[in-house]
Amino acid sequence: MQTTEGCTNLEKVTLIDTWFPFNIPNAFTPNGDGLNDTFRPVTDYDRFSKFSMVIYNSWGQR
């Protein structure tokens, strides 16, 4: 894009698809029985392949 004065303006816009249905469990039981052992969003959305989460304590420590 160029203004009438000859100045060039470059802009970058990143669009992120933030809408897809998912549920986040309110508890998990990591006891090795194969049921609810991991804590992650639950979805049928095919493109949801990666998930990462950082947990902080009450003092803001990881």
pLDDT in the model for residue 15: 63
Domain residue limits, the chain: 1-62
Sign of CA dihedral 18, 16, 53, 30: positive
pLDDT in the model for residue 50: 72
User: 25 CB contacts (<8 Å, ≥6 apart)?
Assistant: 36, 39, 42
> What does the alpha-carbon distance between residue 61 and residue 6 come to, in Å, rounded to a whole number?
50
Model confidence pLDDT, tens digit, residues 21-60: 778 888 888 899 988 888 878 877 766 667 777 888 888 8
41 CB-contact burial (10 Å; exposed 0-12 / middle 13-18 / buried 19+): middle
The DSSP 8-state label assigned to residue 15 in this structure reads -
pLDDT in the model for residue 56: 87
| Global pTM value | 0.39
